[in-house]
Amino acid sequence: MKTATLTEKDFPLPLLGTADLHGPIGLDAHGLEPRGTVRWNYETPELQQHAMRRGEGDLSAHGVFTSRTGARTGRSPKDKFTVRDAVSEDTIWWGKINQPCKPELFEKMLGHAQWFLSHREELFVQDLFCGANTAHRISLRVVTESAWHAAFARTMMIRPTAAELATHKPEYTVLHTPYLLADPDTVADLDSNAFILLSLKHKLVLIGGTQYAGEIKKSLFSIMNYLLPATGQLPMHCSCNTTGDNTAVFFGLSGTGKTTLSADPNRRLVGDDEHGWTDHGIFNFEGGCYAKLINLKEEEEPAIYATTRMPGTIMENVILGPDGTPDFTNDSLTANTRAAYPIEYIKNREPSGTAGHPQNIVFLTCDAFGVLPPIAQLTPEQAAYHFISGYTAKVAGTEMNIDTPTATFSTCFGAPFMPRHPGVYAKLLTEKMAEHQSQCWLLNTGWIAGGYGQSDRIKIKWTRALLNAALEGQLANVDYQTDPRFGFQIPQTCPNVPSEILNPRDTWESPTAYDHQANQLSQMFRENFQQYAADTPAPICNAGPGAMSSNST
């Protein structure tokens, strides 16, 4: 364990001096009777100093706090449940993703969490906001036994001013007990010793048995995804950047490039992961970014790389060398190494956390099969089809037991966090795209040339060149070729990109092998979409791919 003293001068951001300030709502409102010390709204330097004192992590050579999350280095979707009761019964899309639990189970685990937290020697409480748009944000509270998790919550959410704290009344609360392990042998309906339980009735989230900090932010994201559609606003699993006059949003699952591609020196970052689209434009849900670090290179991602040298950033599961320097190539703990940092650490950002209506919608997919083109232009019907489908590959380490890229269809490019029926979000997206005449692009950040195992991922410099050309209108007047299976339009030229990579079939040694793989992927699309076909208009259903023989290509 490295020892160090962190002071205000070590941190790039000014401090507000709000330690131990809080509003009129005490912990008794959550059924807690603390026996130990409660540390209210400590700022990052203080929290990280306490984390060091408590042995919760190390400091890198650059003074960056580095933690480990134990056995769980990614989300645990099988351990996530929503209470099924009168409030949620008719509004949640129940199934394998939105798993129901009985109110009795929630009450039992709530009692365990309340007792456990009440008997800790220290508690760390953070009163925060979710949502940069004050008309659509929620006030929240995170109560945790862990100093570094409190720092994570403070980093990722929107931090109130001292004046706002004085009147802060949490609408939703997270009781966070990473070291409280459930016993699935004695607690019916739990699959493991981890549990993530959401009660919309109680406006309460219980997180236990997992130290992976991402569960905190994704639970709050799920709440926003439930609330916003009720008022006609679209919650989105996307990043966003803008020039002021030109705004783009990037949909995609973890590992597909949302954080990387939205950090552009020529465009102001609005946010890297979670946004809402209202009648007035885009707003960020968060106050921080959560970037993957595996194989991070300064020359490819300078803005993100710089944050790993700034005290206040939190690195997860990153291996430090003997001199304290992070080794971003080391995946011995997980490929899902992460950094959480305040969005202010990105110099070229939009301070308001808001932007206008997007001119461009980008669907990011990490295609492990090497079938989809590096970029394609979609019609409105194709956009709706691919949004509902949400095809990508789960990248190694993002979830438990995912070691290699695995094909998946994740509705709205974020199914694990979408409580309502997919049609609710698809309808809102298509309506807003039509109203604001947004163009849609499919951007493959995965593989071509034979797919995973046969080639490397597409070079990020090519992906950036394709993206910038699309956003800047440079692809408006080039020649396009219609993909014979998927029907979308593939540009045949793009500045700074080799033309030979634009049509994926041409990159395979065997065109017949490509046709076979492409037909398989097309069939996967069709089979997946059957579950939505009955409630989806025919033009959207017909916008999906068809099968072809090699002789017809």
N-to-C CA span, the chain: 61
**Active site (annotated) includes residue 68:** no
73 Cβ neighbours under 8 A, 6+ residues apart: 212, 316, 317, 333, 334, 336, 397, 400
Phi-psi region of 434 (alpha: psi -120 to 50; beta: other; left: phi over 0): alpha
**Active site (annotated) includes residue 168:** no
CA–CA gap between residue 175 and residue 506 (Å, rounded): 53
- Catalytic one of 80, 141, 159, 218: 218
- Catalytic one of 73, 219, 222, 259: 259
CB 82 within 8 A of CB 99: yes
CB 399 within 8 A of CB 549: no
104 Cβ neighbours under 8 A, 6+ residues apart: none
CA–CA gap between residue 265 and residue 388 (Å, rounded): 31
CA–CA gap between residue 316 and residue 319 (Å, rounded): 9
Let me know if 434 is exposed, middle or buried by CB neighbors in 10 A (0-12, 13-18, 19+): exposed
DSSP, residue by residue, 369-428? TS-S-SEEEE-HHHHHHHHHH-EEEEPTTSBTT--S-EEEE-GGG-GGG--S-HHHHHHH
Count of alpha carbons within 13 angstroms of residue 409, beta-carbon side: 18
Which segments within 131-228 are labelled E, that is strand? 138-144, 172-177, 195-199, 204-208
**Active site (annotated) includes residue 237:** yes
- Catalytic one of 22, 50, 75, 168: 75
Which segments within 219-358 are labelled E, that is strand? 234-242, 247-251, 268-271, 274-278, 281-284, 288-292, 314-316, 319-320, 326-327, 338-342, 354-355
- Catalytic one of 177, 239, 254, 260: 254
**Active site (annotated) includes residue 338:** yes
CA–CA gap between residue 112 and residue 2 (Å, rounded): 34
- Catalytic one of 22, 168, 338, 432: 338
β-partners of residue 276 are 235, 283
Give the distance, in angstroms, between the CA of residue 359 and the centroid of all CA atoms in the same chain. Answer: 22
420 Cβ neighbours under 8 A, 6+ residues apart: 91, 92, 93, 225, 226, 229
CA–CA gap between residue 444 and residue 464 (Å, rounded): 11
Question: Which has the closest alpha carbon to 419: 219, 240, 130?
Answer: 219
**Active site (annotated) includes residue 75:** yes
**Active site (annotated) includes residue 273:** yes
- Catalytic one of 30, 141, 258, 394: 258
Q: Which sign, positive or negative, has the C-alpha torsion 108, 110, 113, 118?
A: negative
- Catalytic one of 237, 349, 386, 505: 237
Residues marked active site are found at: 75, 218, 237, 254, 258-259, 273, 338
